Chains A and B, each alone.
Chain A
Amino acid sequence: MTAPEAQVDTELRPRVVEAMTEVIARLSERDGPVTEDMDMADELGLSSSLGLELLLEVEERLGVQIDVENMRTDELRTVGQLATFIASHCRPW
């Protein structure tokens, strides 16, 4: 489980999704749209090192620090799952 008790910041989440889809499109060199249901590894080809680059760019764009210490990467397969995690596990810089 990914800390189900954590509160999702519903105002922040759409901004996370927007930042993520832009960054993922560039990192994966993808022309088509990136949607929330897409599997980041299998469909979008994001390696673990590109995954960290994605997190850093999201942090810098939104001015937040993501709680990576509690991130269970094997349970965060899709864009939407990671966006929900970020919107519930980050704090302002």
Chain B
Amino acid sequence: MIPIVTALDAVSVYTPAVRVPIESLAEPLGLTDMQVRLFRRFHGLGEISLDPERSLADLLRAAIDGIGALRGREHLVRYVVYGRAMPVVVPYPDNPLHEVCREAGLGHALAFTVTHQSCASGLLALETAGRLLEADPDPDALALVLTGEKAFTRDARLLPGTSIFGEGASAGLVSAHGPRDRMLSFACAQRGEFDTEFGESAERFQREYRPSLAGVIREAVDEAGLALDDIALVLPHNVNVVTWQRLCLLMDFPVERVLLSNVPVNGHLFCSDAFANYTTARERGLLREGDRYLVAAVGAGAGATFSAMVFQH
């Protein structure tokens, strides 16, 4: 019997070529000069990808087009799971997900969106895709995981004092038996008490952010049967640099093993950070065969979700 695992067979990431320095966002986002300088000095932000001329469907289309491993295998794709931070992004009844699926020859697939874990929904989509494939009787069945977001309102573009969002999309081809990048564990903590309508103060969220993220990271590493030292690389959410510097001190983990180089060039790409950082790690040869690496994400908004996944490359 072939062992069932969740395997990330191929990944494609698209970010618009139009890049703007964060200083030019001060006026549209209502940022003071001090806030911009803080973002650059401590948060490590530099520029953001934005393209007002490209729609959400355009972003998703570009990500799907980049995934060469999909060509000729469209008929094997049973599920398309779209992980997105924003619950509503187009006027009803438009649905860019179904539009791009039809265009890509995936109109037959069961396609749906998960949004309830905000920026951690990308990892949720990946895990959901794995579970659907595990339950599918066809061992050759595939799933396509999509992420992608437009940053088109002030609330969607700015996390005050924390990060600035950019635009981008990703596509990941998932199988149950693939040889590459097998998921070893997934830990997820949903914290409803941080719901902005009913929960505690923002200060408490700030205080508990790093310990909570450290908690799911340790849980995922433990569940994978590993120690933190076994993790060759961390692919972070690109919320900012200082958060990861402090988290690493808290966990006694070398910050040099956290891939933070996309923070100054992309900003925070909602659910796409994990996939963008994975692509960068591959391009730079930072992952060798057999390496175990960890992907982390935090979704904040209506409550908070802290997630971590361990993979073997």
Prevailing SS type, chain A contact patch: helix
A10: B residues at CB distance < 8 A: none
Q: Report yes or no: A47 in contact with B203, Cβ–Cβ below 8 A.
A: yes
Q: Report yes or no: B206 in contact with A47, Cβ–Cβ below 8 A.
A: yes
B34: A residues at CB distance < 8 A: 53, 56
Q: Report yes or no: A69 in contact with B37, Cβ–Cβ below 8 A.
A: no
* Residue B38 at the chain A interface, CB threshold 8 Å: yes
* Residue B192 at the chain A interface, CB threshold 8 Å: no
Q: Report yes or no: A52 in contact with B249, Cβ–Cβ below 8 A.
A: no
Distance in angstroms between the alpha carbons of A48 and B243 in the assembled complex: 11
Per-residue contact bits, chain A 49-88, to B (CB 8 Å; 1 contact, 0 not): 1001101100100000000111111000000000000000
* Residue B255 at the chain A interface, CB threshold 8 Å: yes
Q: Report yes or no: B206 in contact with A69, Cβ–Cβ below 8 A.
A: no
* Residue B42 at the chain A interface, CB threshold 8 Å: yes
* Residue B154 at the chain A interface, CB threshold 8 Å: no
**Quick one: which of B179-208 are within 8 Å of A by CB?**
203, 206
Q: Report yes or no: B249 in contact with A56, Cβ–Cβ below 8 A.
A: no
Closest to B206 in A: A48
**What residues make up the interface of B, taking CB atoms closer than 8 Å to A?**
34, 37-38, 41-42, 161, 203, 206, 242, 245-246, 249, 255
**What residues make up the interface of A, taking CB atoms closer than 8 Å to B?**
47-49, 52-53, 55-56, 59, 68-73
User: Could you list 20 examples of A-B contacts with CB < 8 Å?
Assistant: A47-B206, A49-B38, A49-B161, A52-B38, A52-B42, A52-B161, A52-B242, A53-B34, A55-B42, A56-B34, A56-B37, A56-B38, A56-B41, A56-B42, A59-B41, A69-B245, A69-B255, A71-B246, A72-B249, A73-B246
